[in-house]
Amino acid sequence: MRLSIIIPVFNEVNTISDIIQKVQSSDYDKEIIVVDDASTDGTKDVLQKLSQQPEINIFYHEKNCGKGAAIRTAIKNITGNITIIQDADLEYDPVDYAGLLKPILDGKADVVYGSRFQGGPHRVLFFWHYIGNKFLTLLSNMMTNLNLTDMETGYKAFKSNVIKNISLTSDRFGFEPEVTAIIAHCNNYKIYEVPISYSGRDYSEGKKIGWKDGVAAMYFILKYNIQAKLKIGS
């Protein structure tokens, strides 16, 4: 079993080396695919110094296109049996890989979501972010008929043939609602959720998600679920 670990990154000069080191320390046969989405803070310079290390493949976008676009670039280059999406900001810890992988390795799941709301240790932060996440998950569940607790989680694991065969279009943070809508509606994929730890950042530490992204997520949930249902009906 070989892992493909996708790390989309934009302006994370203070964390990118640490997260790559943590991923490298995980005890799996793996490839690390980093996609720099036109960072302007020195992240690219750090990555260029790391590019000669084994296991690491780095791709650079000429202009900033968003997380979804970076993930699509990475998917084109994966060779492993299982793919994990790993954010570059240290909010998600590779120590949780074992839990994410277990349902797939046991033959129970095709896709696994790591939930921040199932009792794993987590940093206590923003109440309204928590409410926003719960609302977006509820709205998504109403459209997909799933019972997820954390649709917006940054930790998702896929059998690689699943993620390769999904036609994704969202460039930015619409990736989460889009991939959820597609796997819920378009195939008989088995989905599991497992608890993960979460070390959220505040804005002084570089957190990028804001209220405008929450409003956009509502639009994406409606858009991609309607598209998926229309595709099934056609």
Domain boundaries, the chain: 3-233
Beta bridge partners of 34: 7, 58
Strands 156-159, 82-85: parallel, antiparallel or unpaired by DSSP?
Answer: antiparallel
pLDDT at 142: 97
**CA-CA distance, 71 to 158, in Å (whole number)?**
13
71, two tokens:
């993930």
**CA-CA distance, 75 to 83, in Å (whole number)?**
9
Q: Which long-range contacts (CB under 8 A, 24 or more apart) does 178-183 make?
A: 178/68, 178/220, 178/224, 180/140, 180/144, 180/146, 180/148, 180/151, 181/140, 181/143, 181/144, 181/221, 181/224, 181/225, 181/227, 181/228, 182/224, 182/228, 183/110, 183/111
Contact (CB, 8 A) for 223 and 121: no
**CA-CA distance, 1 to 26, in Å (whole number)?**
14
**CA-CA distance, 142 to 148, in Å (whole number)?**
10
Q: Read off the pLDDT of residues 55-68 as tens digits, 9 standing for 90 and up.
A: 999 999 999 999 99
Q: How confident is the model at residue 105 (pLDDT cuts 50, 70, 90)?
A: very high
Q: Read off the pLDDT of residues 176-221 as tens digits, 9 standing for 90 and up.
A: 999 999 999 987 899 999 999 988 655 455 555 666 878 888 999 9
User: For the structural domain made of 3-233, what CATH number should be given?
Assistant: 3.90.550.10
Q: Read off the pLDDT of residues 86-98 as tens digits, 9 standing for 90 and up.
A: 999 999 999 999 9
* φ and ψ at residue 6, rounded to 5 degrees: -95, 125
Look at residue 53 and tell me whether its pLDDT is greater than 70: yes
The better pLDDT of the pair 131, 195 is held by 195
Contact (CB, 8 A) for 7 and 23: yes
pLDDT at 187: 72
